[in-house]
Amino acid sequence: MTLRNFGMGKRSIENRVQEEARCLVEELRKTNALPCDPTFILGCAPCNVICSVVFHKRFDYKDQRFLNLMEKFNENLRLLSSPWIQVCNNFPVLIDYLPGSHNKVLKNFAYVKSYVLERIKEHQESLDMNNPRDFIDCFLIKMEQEKHNQQSEFTTENLIATVTDVFGAGTETTSTTLRFGLLLLLKYPEVTAKVQEEIERVVGRNRSPCMQDRSHMPYTDAVVHEIQRYIDLIPTNLPHAVTCDVKFRNYLIPKGTTIITSLTSVLHNDKEFPNPEMFDPGHFLDKSGNFKKSDYFIPFSTGKRMCVGEGLARMELFLFLTTILQNFNLKSQVDPKDIDITPIANAFGRVPPLYQLCFIPV
């Protein structure tokens, strides 16, 4: 099943992302062009998009329950990026025997699951079988339709797990990419200026950017791709297990083997991307300045088990970044050449260093 099966087609979701982008701009205006840490605000926007799809509501950025939820996601990505968690990830047998930060991760997941279960119960009390409002409603209707099927995968337990996975995969990853992206745009103001020129020419000031604009904005599209390629957010992807014995080249991989893949080896391949350690939108532009696709662009992994939220994430990155740059100039607190873009966590996820900037209305 996909979001499209639940009535959440591209256009419907695009409207939700555009609405949240407008809310994001209003929150940024409240900073009054003063220096601010963008971590929190950039975390709220993608989380609210997921809330809109799953719960049929968005939250005010000061809602305490919303803040608690955000805190758990933020803390988990930070903890999951620690070397100790990577050891536990690769050797899960250790989890039951040793203390450590993995216990906090599990506690945070339990909090999120409890929150999701509360929302499910609320939906069950107000469910209209003929008028589903969101993902949870659609899932509950399928549960009712298959309640006599003992083999059905539409269960409350699977609903909780699915919603939790959607939040875990679709909030902190996108917000971290946005945060890293703005840091790179501060570091390279000449890139930012070219993006803003393209936004002015294609979109103007009288309407919001939309996904149809992307095909007319090759430089902006290249910048968004290069941000994802350069930051290499999840270097070793998520662990996967082999479901049956597999022969790969001259190797036999037994059923149950945990597979760790290196996305870095592809995203930073120096034959496909000259000077891969440099941030250069030209990696995705041909000699005529047209956008150039690359089979080596796999920040969402590849194959049947690639990230199911790729379409939503790419939509959010394009619309949030273009809407921000349509409405604001970015001002760094230090000279661009002195901006440090070295990640502060470099295990499961690459987290950018903390920084402040000013959003100057244009």
The annotated binding site is made up of: 307
Spatial separation of the C-alpha atoms in residues 171 and 43, rounded to whole Å:
7
Amino acid occupying residue 49:
V
Residue count of the chain, please give it. Answer: 362
Helices 189-202 and 310-327: angle between axes, nearest 10 degrees: 90
3-state DSSP assignment of residue 325: helix
> Torsion over CA of 173, 315, 259 and 2, rounded to 10 degrees?
110
Residue 127 CB: number of other CB atoms within 10 A?
15
DSSP 56: S
Place of tokens 């620690």: 82
Q: What element of type H or E holds 328? A: strand 328-332
- Residue 216 in contact with residue 202, Cβ under 8 Å? yes
Three-state SS for 187-203 is HCHHHHHHHHHHHHHHC
- Reading the block at residue 233, the tokens are 């957010």
Residue ranges of alpha helices (H) inside 127-217 are 135-145, 156-170, 172-187, 189-202
DSSP letter string, 217-249: -HHHHHHHHHHHHHH-SSTT---EE-SS-EEET
Please give the structure tokens belonging to residue 33.
């062009």
- Residue 242's alpha-carbon distances to 38, 245, 257, 259, in angstroms, are 40, 7, 5, 7
* Residue 297 burial (CB count, 10 A): 18
- Other residues' Cβ atoms within 10 Å of the Cβ of residue 116: 22
Q: Residue 173 has which token pair?
A: 């990853």
- Residue numbers belonging to the annotated binding site for heme: 307
Cα separations (Å) of 243 from 154, 175, 254, 257?
22, 33, 9, 8
